């Protein structure tokens, strides 16, 4: 039997479903969605007694997602609706069954004729998503007898409503969920001013156990377009003018890699600095030259942690660690290496105001400290969610010590 495999952000978010410890939302008795297109005419009924629900939001995005899956894996396996709190638009991003289903990536693509209302009452937010001839896409196997994984796409329209409610004080309804910061300085390319929108995960390249290079990608945005800046530092070259390289690309321009000096690029783990004056970036295809001027300063999150005296080699995610809100909790994900295995420390801000922790090794929960109702002893923080201190914190049989600084999320 074929299975439709989707590897989009919605699947990453769905990791929260089926958590026995979470506080589920309550729904009206039925949500009914009608799907019609060429050769397709059916109504899917989602019964609240047969579904799990999660609310998820990343950083300070204006939108949040309602994730749902079926306890019995029918009539659907899982679904994903995204709602923007500013525009009041909504989108049915995913509604998948074993062999077919709705899929409309990326998030908030299928917003036409889709809206939602939110009413607050008795401490709850009641959400009603309205679909009125809302265009979408239905995927199904190209042939029921074929062994290939080829699918055909059929344009469809969706009608109906999807209703849910959740406590008003859950962080997913806030837009200012996490502390924000703004970069210092400016970035000007080809006469246009850009601001930093995202810093990618550093890519470390090793050879025979030795670090050879580190590459950081920075996404910038102007009033009319976006730009990617790539900085690569090589550790196998000692010459200060040859071991750091920058390149720039967007839809219309792709520069050659340009070597710069140590003075132009500095990264001490707490702050990234890039300073270049009237540097000509050459398009590797046309030879066109465009000038780059910048004196950007970007704060970075960092962690200095030991577990049983063993240093956790943390992996910072760009300028910040991953920050996510799920139902009544706020999570900071800190990637690390422990005993040569991939691990994650989850710092969880609970709704009652205290901190709990989870430690995962190779994606499997290894140990915890505290929970929704219990304080994790030995953890202190500044209340803003920026500075965390760990003193003899018990994670199972192990002891966690050190500090974490969360610079914030990009505005």
Q: What is the pLDDT of residues 373-409, one digit of tens each?
A: 999 999 999 877 789 999 999 999 999 999 998 888 8
- Residue 317: other Cβ atoms inside 10 A: 18
User: Which residues touch 108 (CB under 8 Å, ≥6 apart)?
Assistant: 63, 82, 84, 89, 91, 93
Flag whether pLDDT at 11 surpasses 70: no
Integer Cα distance of 331 and 348 in angstroms: 5
Least confident of 32-46, 337-351, 371-385: 337-351
> What digits encode the pLDDT tens for the residues 142-172?
766 655 568 899 999 999 999 988 999 999 9
Integer Cα distance of 401 and 311 in angstroms: 10
Q: Once rounded to an integer, what is the mean pLDDT over residues 104-128?
A: 94
Flag whether pLDDT at 16 surpasses 50: no
Q: Which two tokens stand for residue 277?
A: 């004056």
> What digits encode the pLDDT tens for the residues 267-298?
887 888 999 999 999 999 999 999 999 999 98
Flag whether pLDDT at 319 surpasses 50: no
- The pTM (predicted TM-score) of the whole model is 0.79
382: left (phi over 0), alpha (psi -120 to 50) or beta: alpha
pLDDT of residue 272: 87
> What digits encode the pLDDT tens for the residues 195-225?
988 877 677 788 887 888 888 888 999 999 9
| More confident call, 282 vs 312 | 282
Beta partners for 303? 404
Tell me the residue length of the chain.
411
Q: What percent of the chain has pLDDT over 70?
A: 88
């Amino acid at each position: 039997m074929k299975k439709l495999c989707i590897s989009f952000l919605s699947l990453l978010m769905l990791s929260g479903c089926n958590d026995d410890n979470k506080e589920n939302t309550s729904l009206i008795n039925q949500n009914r969605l009608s799907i019609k297109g060429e050769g397709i005419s059916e109504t899917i009924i989602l019964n609240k007694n047969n579904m799990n629900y999660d609310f998820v939001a990343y950083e300070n995005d204006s939108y949040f997602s309602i994730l749902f899956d079926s306890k019995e894996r029918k009539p659907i396996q899982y679904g994903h609706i995204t709602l923007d709190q500013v525009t009041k638009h909504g989108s049915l991003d995913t509604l998948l069954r074993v062999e077919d289903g709705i899929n409309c990536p990326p998030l908030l693509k299928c917003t036409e004729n889709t809206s939602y209302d939110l009413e607050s009452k008795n401490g709850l937010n009641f959400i009603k998503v309205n679909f009125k001839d809302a265009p979408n896409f239905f995927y199904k196997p190209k042939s029921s007898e074929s062994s290939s994984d080829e699918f055909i796409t059929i344009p469809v329209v969706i009608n109906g409503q999807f209703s849910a409610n959740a406590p008003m004080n859950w962080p997913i309804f806030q837009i200012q969920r996490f502390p924000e910061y703004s970069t210092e300085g400016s970035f000007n390319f080809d006469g246009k001013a850009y601001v930093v929108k995202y810093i990618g995960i550093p890519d470390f390249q090793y050879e025979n156990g030795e670090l050879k290079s580190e590459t950081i990608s920075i996404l910038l945005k102007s009033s009319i377009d976006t730009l990617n800046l790539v900085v690569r530092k090589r550790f196998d070259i000692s010459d200060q003018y040859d071991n750091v390289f920058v390149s720039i690309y967007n839809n219309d321009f792709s520069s050659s890699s340009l070597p710069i000096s140590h003075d132009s690029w500095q990264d001490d783990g707490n702050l990234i600095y890039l300073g270049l004056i009237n540097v000509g970036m050459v398009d590797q295809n046309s030879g066109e030259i465009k000038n780059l001027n910048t004196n950007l300063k970007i704060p970075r999150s960092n962690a200095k942690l030991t577990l049983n005296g063993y240093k956790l080699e943390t992996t910072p995610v760009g300028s910040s660690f991953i920050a996510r809100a799920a139902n009544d909790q706020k999570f900071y994900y800190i990637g690390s290496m422990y005993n040569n295995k991939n691990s994650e420390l989850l710092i969880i801000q609970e709704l009652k105001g205290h901190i709990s922790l989870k430690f995962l090794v190779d994606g499997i929960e290894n140990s915890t400290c505290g929970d929704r109702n219990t304080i994790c002893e030995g953890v202190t923080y500044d209340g803003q969610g920026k500075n965390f201190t760990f003193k003899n914190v018990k994670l199972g049989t192990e002891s966690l010590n050190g500090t974490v600084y969360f610079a914030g999320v990009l505005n």
